[in-house]
Structure 1
Amino acid sequence: MSHDYAPPRFEDSAGEPKPTGRHPVNIGHLVMGLVFLVFVVVWALVVSGTVTIRSIEDLRWLLPLPWIVGGSIGLLAALLRKN
């Protein structure tokens, strides 16, 4: 005896339509991604010889740079966020 009928699957049932479109930006992820990117740029500048490091004191202006850029962009994103 053959059965050509299969019971309905969960995927086949009509549920609520899924919302489409853009999702809000997670500001924490944005800031940390930008900080990481700026750290990579600082590293590339040091390795390529564009910025010459004679002592550890020469890094005192480069190391805070990623945090300042990330914080500025995060603050700007928080101010521009639409609720």
Structure 2
Amino acid sequence: MSNHPHPYAEVDTDSSGRHPVSVGHLVMGVAFLGLATIWLLFESDAIGGDDLRWLMPLPWLAAGLAGLLAVALSGRRARPEYAATPADAEDETL
């Protein structure tokens, strides 16, 4: 057995009830959904080959916008790794 704590042993004490957003997963999900939609429209002959020239960049733009919004709105700020307790404050004064 090791005396080192397991990296996942610490419990997240965030009590806001919100799940953190995985920006990478969100971006790739939006891009995949957009590309699949364009493919479906192309295969069903709803759009022609000429339309693909301006439709193909749209999922990437939407994915980038979703990523920027997720980062801006989620308030991803660095949380301090160590929060001092009143007992720690007493130890420092000794």
The interval holding the TM-score normalised by the smaller chain is: 0.5 to 0.7
Normalising to structure 2: TM-score of the pair? 0.58
- Partner residue of 1:67? 60
Aligned Cα root-mean-square deviation (Å):
2.3
Verify: 1:80 aligned to 2:73, yes or no.
yes
Structure 1 gap ranges (5+)? 1-15
**Greater CA radius of gyration, 1 or 2?**
1
Structure 2 gap ranges (5+)? 1-8, 78-94
- Partner residue of 2:43? 47
- CA gap of 1:79–1:19, structure 2 versus 1, over 3 A, is closer
Q: Which has the higher contact order (CA 8 A, sep 6+)?
A: 1
Normalising to structure 1: TM-score of the pair? 0.65
Q: Partners of 2:48 and 2:51 in 1: how far apart? A: 8
Deviation >4 Å, runs of 4+: 18-22
Verify: 1:36 aligned to 2:13, yes or no.
no
- Partner residue of 2:81? none
Identity %: 50
